[in-house]
Amino acid sequence: MKEYVGFDVSKEETSFCVMDEAGTLLARGKARSDPDSLFEMLKEHTLCPDRIVLETGTLSNWLARGLRRHGMPVDIIDARQAHAVMKLQHNKTDANDAHLLAEIARTGFCRPVAVSSEAAQTQRILIKARKHLVSQRSATHNAIRGFLSSLGLRFAKGSGKLGERVRAALVARPDLSPLIEPLLLSVEALAREIARFDQEIKARADGMAACRLLMTVPGVAQNTALAFVATMDDPSRFTCSRAVGAYLGLTSRRYQSGEMDYTGRISKNGDGLLRSLLYEAANVLLTVVRKSHPIKDWARRIRKRSSHKKACVALARKLAVIMHRMLITGEAFRWPEKEAAV
């Protein structure tokens, strides 16, 4: 007899539901949200589940990896697709959510998403931690500017010498120094930690052959290369390189119904961090890199008839497709013969 299990995961406890292939409820309850406790619960209530389904979330990858080490057939489905089904129920409870997830496991309604490896997840944490500190530094800079601007003390754009300019201005206003100096010290501490993160990212990227390969693409530095490798994790899971653009949310939405058919803005589905890094790489390729290349000329034509931002988005999608193909073939970025000779 085939059995199907649905897990509705929360921070402390996970609601579970077990049913057979006819949809008959066999067991339901709660267990601690860790792989070993869930495995012990499965041994108690099932013989050998045919499929286990849970939604994407903070604990999903960790739980899926742990249960797979026990030999359990675990699938993670997109929480947005699961929510589209769950919102039809009248009473929203964890038990009902687990029951619907077990139904999804039984019917195979939703496609599973990839489970990230622990190494890839660690690399993404490193890049996200750096981004978090950068945003904190920018927020503190803006706070200092706003506080002093309200008192008539204004500073030129740019954050390179903001600390020196602020301290020079505070010489005439010693009463403000106890208020602003702690903010300046926090900015300097953040800058030191960001530099430490940069060194760690550079060391990891330089030590990985895949990152060194991707850094042959103009505009792609250590951050983008490491983020791309971590997000792709297993590049062979994409049967077509063109699918990477849609996976990262860099393709246009389409709406077609009857006589109505139009395309809109990009979907912005998938990983926003890598999407922003690819946009920055595309911007560097368009504005900083001097060498000529067919894809750069193609983006310039888009910019001429549309805008610079749309050209960067289109070029970012093109770079994502090229970089995935490079990971598959192991071939470095190719320049035209004339530019390669230069």
**210-239 in b/e burial notation, b at 16+ Cβ within 10 A?**
bbebbbebbbbbbbbbbbbbbbbbebeebe
What pLDDT band is residue 338 in, cutting at 50, 70 and 90? low
Same domain, 32 and 108: yes
Q: What is the mean pLDDT of residues 213-238?
A: 94
Contact 111, 77 (CB under 8 A): yes
Q: What is the mean pLDDT of residues 15-37?
A: 91
Interval 116-129: pLDDT, tens: 899 999 999 999 99
Residue span of the structural domain in which 328 resides:
212-341
Q: What pLDDT score was predicted for residue 288? A: 92
Q: What is the mean pLDDT of residues 170-176?
A: 87
Res. 233: pLDDT tops 60: yes
Nearest to 6 by CA among 25, 315, 246: 25
Instruction: Indicate the DSSP class of residue 239.
Output: S
Q: Last residue of some domain: 155, 179, 206? A: 206
What pLDDT band is residue 259 in, cutting at 50, 70 and 90? confident
Which residues are CB-neighbours of 257 under 8 A, at least 6 positions away?
none
Same domain, 231 and 267: yes
Q: What is the mean pLDDT of residues 52-69?
A: 93
Interval 299-327: pLDDT, tens: 999 999 999 999 999 999 999 999 999 99
Identify residue 283 by its one-letter amino acid code.
N
Identify residue 137 by its one-letter amino acid code.
R
Q: How many CB atoms lie within 10 A of CB 139?
A: 11
Same domain, 13 and 63: yes
Whole-number average pLDDT of the chain: 90
Which residues are CB-neighbours of 90 under 8 A, at least 6 positions away?
none
Same domain, 232 and 173: no
Same domain, 180 and 235: no
Q: Last residue of some domain: 187, 206, 225? A: 206
Read off the CATH number of the domain in which 27 is found: 3.30.420.40
Res. 340: pLDDT tops 80: no
Q: Last residue of some domain: 153, 178, 206? A: 206
Identify residue 127 by its one-letter amino acid code.
I
**Inter-CA distances, 271 with 39, 41, 338, Å:** 30, 33, 36
**Inter-CA distances, 72 with 35, 149, 325, Å:** 10, 60, 32
Same domain, 127 and 159: yes
- 197 or 154: whose pLDDT is higher? 197
Number of domains within the chain: 3
